[in-house]
Structure 1
């Protein structure tokens, strides 16, 4: 700006005009400009889709794509981060608070409990450079994912209102592939086709270590049997272990660190196949074997 002002002043003098301002100023144009405002840290926009999911993002250099194009994640909410020297570390109160806010906002955005669908919530923080520059936001992204939560699937179309209508992302009936005690695949099928597993609901795990959660199969068995009993209208008693088997999916380690405590429970049969949902099926359909 100084070079431009000087050029203007020279031009005025060459034209025979006075450089003294008519409003009675001091004639020094260089001190009559208001100071420029401090640059404000940019904040990401909502309802924007992204070609990839990253744990940190810059509001300046992020490369969004249209939600009608193939994308991996979608920003549905932007929250205000605490004012600290660095972004909250994983597992801290600040990081858990951000995840909780994102989780609640995701229910409204998707139009239902995203935990009952093949969806996952992610918190994206500013980069370290952006944080140092004054960025104090966190971005809430939603992804289409696998049951175990470790894979993100490319998709087209926004997830807004996805669970307000019939959706292939809702957890329903499945044909599982089991190797010993490990489920290697859960292939989604319509419930009126042959299947051996069905999503029954969620249970809230206690605030234990992730290692203890993974090792606590007795706890998961008891909890999932109770979930299945409610789902299938069965007595929640010791006979449940003879009516069906169960499959459970824990949160990922990253989700657990963020405060996620939901465990997904599925009713499961090693050999029996069904062509209907077992919701409210009752003891006549699921007798004690």
Structure 2
């Protein structure tokens, strides 16, 4: 039966082929000219509002991540916006320091401020600009992604595996905002750590403000750069503490300047985090303390 069925099938096929000269109405017998073109292969763009539980040790900005999870579930990264590059070199991902890359980062910065309620740099946070890898760019991907991460500290950069969105994290009670810190020094009198602590417990430092340095090349002379950063923090710390920015400022309160990296600088982030710093233990905030509570030594 199997052999007979096969024979009948061959005969039927032969009959169809033999009758090809009389194609049914609407068909011309040419199988190559009536098919629509296949859609162009494209790399799918990421989804805004997605969260990812990225394993420990994965590099920031990686594109080979696990599938997105609900932001109410445990995760380490939250994508707050996905934008699109316009123009630029169609053959290459925008280079570090390029106008296109800086423009995307500027967009991410504005989106983050709107999302969080304040400048992301005033929180235990990082804003990461993610671009397609080169093969995906050449395949037509033109997206850029704005990702936020929460850190447990501000010097070791231990990423928090959190549940819930970061939206409004710097509004109201500012749950992820920078506040009081325990400052420790090295034997060489250099700042070693800035560990976040409750302002109601003894501490010797407190976040005051972020100041942006002027445009220009990234400062490479360590001594000159350090002096510039410290000078830039004097006025913000004085304003924060409610004391005059005069010759007695350093006798009333000290301060610490914590810059961002050269990579951040090339993206357009020339910020320096400024902390009020006291040689004596503090309890409570020094915000608006004024000259009476902070007399010169």
Query: Which TM-score bucket, shorter chain as reference?
Result: 0.7 to 0.9
How far 1:112 sits from its partner (Å)?
1.9
Measured at CA, do residues 172 and 56 of structure 1 come closer, stay the same or move farther in structure 2, by a change above 3 Å? closer
Q: Say if 2:228 is the partner of 1:219.
A: yes
Measured at CA, do residues 55 and 117 of structure 1 come closer, stay the same or move farther in structure 2, by a change above 3 Å? closer
TM (norm. structure 1) is 0.85
Task: Tell me the residue number matched to 1:152.
Answer: 159
How far 1:55 sits from its partner (Å)?
5.6
SS state at 2:282 partner: coil
Task: Tell me the residue number matched to 2:41.
Answer: 39
Q: Would you say the 8 A contact 2:210–2:273 is kept in 1?
A: yes
Measured at CA, do residues 287 and 56 of structure 1 come closer, stay the same or move farther in structure 2, by a change above 3 Å? closer
Greater radius of gyration (CA): 2
Task: Tell me the residue number matched to 1:3.
Answer: none
Measure the CA separation in 2 of the matches of 1:110 and 1:144. 12
Task: Tell me the residue number matched to 2:149.
Answer: 143
SS state at 2:113 partner: helix
Q: Say if 2:270 is the partner of 1:261.
A: yes
Measure the CA separation in 2 of the matches of 1:158 and 1:12. 67
TM (norm. structure 2) is 0.83
How far 1:13 sits from its partner (Å)?
3.6
SS state at 1:238 partner: coil
Measured at CA, do residues 218 and 56 of structure 1 come closer, stay the same or move farther in structure 2, by a change above 3 Å? closer
Measured at CA, do residues 149 and 12 of structure 1 come closer, stay the same or move farther in structure 2, by a change above 3 Å? farther
How far 1:109 sits from its partner (Å)?
1.6
Task: Tell me the residue number matched to 1:20.
Answer: 23
Match of 1:172 among 179, 198, 220: 179
Which 5+ residue runs of structure 1 have no aligned equivalent?
A: 1-6
How far 1:200 sits from its partner (Å)?
0.9
Which 5+ residue runs of structure 2 have no aligned equivalent?
A: 1-9
Measure the CA separation in 1 of the matches of 2:156 and 2:274. 14
Post-superposition Cα deviations, 1:45-100, rounded to whole Å, max 9, x if no partner, equal: 11122333546555xx6423423444332211112124421111112222211211
Measure the CA separation in 2 of the matches of 1:279 and 1:112. 18
Q: Would you say the 8 A contact 1:110–1:164 is kept in 2?
A: yes
Measured at CA, do residues 30 and 226 of structure 1 come closer, stay the same or move farther in structure 2, by a change above 3 Å? same
Measure the CA separation in 1 of the matches of 2:62 and 2:277. 41
Measured at CA, do residues 242 and 202 of structure 1 come closer, stay the same or move farther in structure 2, by a change above 3 Å? same
> How many residues were matched structurally?
277
After superposition, the CA RMSD in angstroms is: 2.8
Q: Would you say the 8 A contact 1:12–1:18 is kept in 2?
A: no
Matching of residues 113-132 of structure 1 within 5 Å: 113-132=119-138
How far 1:148 sits from its partner (Å)?
3.9
Measure the CA separation in 2 of the matches of 1:157 and 1:19. 67
How far 1:151 sits from its partner (Å)?
4.8
SS state at 1:219 partner: helix
Q: Would you say the 8 A contact 2:219–2:225 is kept in 1?
A: no
Measure the CA separation in 2 of the matches of 1:12 and 1:159. 69
